[in-house]
A and B are shown apart, each in its own frame.
Chain A
């Protein structure tokens, strides 16, 4: 009797999930299937769609421009992910000992700012800093590197790295604070023991700090890799993918294909590839670094 009541009650619990599931199914799952469906057709968004099978996918991987966009996103990982994580580790390890000082508390707020402002604002700000009369060139001239000054976002060879610098600036604070929070959980006795054994700061870092931060590093890498692969706002604002196609990324290409060039099928195929790429990168990192609890 009691068990039966409980079971009925449990099924009634489904009513609580229903609204959430409805929003999720209608606005996420359904569009996901629609993307896959669109990707198999040639469609201009208005007229009749014609079935093309895997033609669109073939084009994504063989068209040099489209493939270059995907490759650009992969290159951005170096800036969005590698720079903030490595630099963040170095910074967090250095300021670990003064993490509770007044200065560090102020710094905590300050270095978090880029994470709070819209990416669009970061894009506008840095477009100005990296422009030909911007602060970056002014500083370079000041230290005698006038020769290399240029419009960083408008130069074929530097546009993509310049976009990467913006991403690194946005993500560095988040990574530093995440890693610092992880370091504060490490037992101080470990460090004392290491010091007694005569270990220097480097030894200490590689034998104690780094191994204890597996989970935090995993989170930083996941968040930043996804941000690199799915970048849109920063690129849209700072370069629009240019000059030429030098800083084109898949997110922006999908937008152009679907809403300017009216190639909905091709845009959807690229969208499927991008989604698959993001999941293929995010899942293994999560599995490798997650605490098995």
Chain B
């Protein structure tokens, strides 16, 4: 029994070390953000005179309100459309068992590990020819397509486990396929769709490549893309850059802390399925 206690002790120590290694970068960022703007402080050094005003300066410099609005608009474009469209497809492939479903599914699967860099060049010309370059649609529309393989995969995994009898009885009551879908299956799919919504929100919010390639104006980008521009502009003023980075991180962190349990479960499941 002695060995078990020692093991638990080692485990605790290890956990604390691991948490410290994870949190240290954030602490360093925070402490540095409090130094006078334009100075070159050491990595971890509490300032004599903490400059809390740096956060306010960074808030204005980064145009946080506009950034939040822009990211929110992009998320609002990507997530609802993706959810509806992917749920319908998952329903058809997993539950209605349409003819040719295997091939359709395999074609979707092919896109699952596709690196975005692989198609970013033609996407630029495609979006330009559609006339939406430098607008938020340039991020929204391609992202819906790029997230589709995973979304369909995720929803199919839910629908494949729904019992056939459920639909049979609804059909006997005279429901058409459309009604069957909206009245019976969509409500039942809520756990799967809400987890998917969390994942899509996170991936959209953090999307960087599409934002910097397809949209010039940082104020029309995602949070991530804006952060990249912020670094380019304020990269030499380290305290201000740290303050700005922390501010830009805050919304994701808040959402994460509120929904943390769902988040961790969704992301773990997400990578397991992917």
Chain A residues within CB distance 8 Å of chain B = 9-14, 16-17, 19-21, 23-24, 26-32, 34-35, 38, 45, 91, 94-98, 101, 103-104, 106-122, 124-126, 128-129, 133-139, 169, 172-174, 176-178, 181, 201, 215-216, 219, 222-223, 226, 229-230, 232-233, 236-237, 250-251, 254-255, 258-259, 264, 267-268, 271-272, 274-275, 278-279, 282
Interface-central residue, A9, A27, A114, A223, by most chain B CB under 10 Å: A27
Chain A positions within 8 Å of B252 at CB level: 116-118
Which A-chain residue is minimally distant from B111 (CB atoms)?
A28
Establish whether residues B242 and A128, one from each chain, have CB atoms under 8 Å apart when the complex forms.
Answer: yes
Given contacts A27-B146, A138-B44, A255-B120, contact A103 B12 (CB under 8 A): yes
Q: B42–A232 contact, CB under 8 A?
A: no
Q: Is B86 located at the chain interface by the 8 A CB criterion? A: yes
Contact at A16–B123, with CB atoms within 8 Å? no
| CB–CB B116/A128 < 8 A | no
- The answer to whether A32 and B91 touch across the interface, beta carbons within 8 angstroms, is no
The main secondary structure of chain A at its interface with chain B is helix
- The answer to whether the Cβ of B263 comes within 8 Å of any Cβ in the partner chain is yes
- Determine if B118 is an interface residue (Cβ-Cβ < 8 Å): yes
Interface of B is mostly: helix
When chains A and B are docked, how far (Å) is the Cα of A107 from the Cα of B260?
A: 12
Pick the residue among A16, A113, A219, A278 that contacts B256 (CB under 8 A). Answer: A113
Cβ contacts B50-71/A at 8 Å (1 or 0 each): 0000000000000000000000
**A115 contacts B209, CB within 8 Å?**
no
Known: A10-B98, A19-B85, A95-B11. A125 touches B29 (CB 8 A): yes
Given contacts A112-B263, A113-B256, contact A118 B177 (CB under 8 A): no
Q: Do the beta carbons of B146 and A108 come within 8 Å of each other? A: no
Per the 8 Å Cβ criterion, residues 85-140 of B in contact with A are 85-86, 88-89, 91-93, 96-99, 104, 107-108, 111, 113-126
From residue A3, how far is it (CB to closest CB) to chain B in Å?
Answer: 13
Decide if A91 touches B88 in the complex (CB within 8 Å). Answer: no
Contact at B121–A137, with CB atoms within 8 Å? no
B18 contacts across to A, CB distance below 8 A: 91, 107, 111, 172, 176
Taking CB atoms, residues of chain B closer than 8 Å to A98 are 8, 11-12, 15
Q: Which single member of B22, B29, B84, B227 contacts A113 (CB below 8 Å)?
A: B22
Given A11-B98, A255-B120, A258-B120, A119 contacting B206 (CB threshold 8 A): yes
User: Which residues of A sit under 8 angstroms from B28, Cβ to Cβ?
Assistant: 125, 128-129, 134-135
Partner of A16, one of B88, B114, B248, B257: B88
Q: If the complex has contacts A103-B12, A120-B227, A124-B245, are A271 and B7 also in contact, measured as CB distance less than 8 A? A: no
- A232 with B117: CB separation less than 8 A: yes
A118 touches B205 (CB 8 A): yes
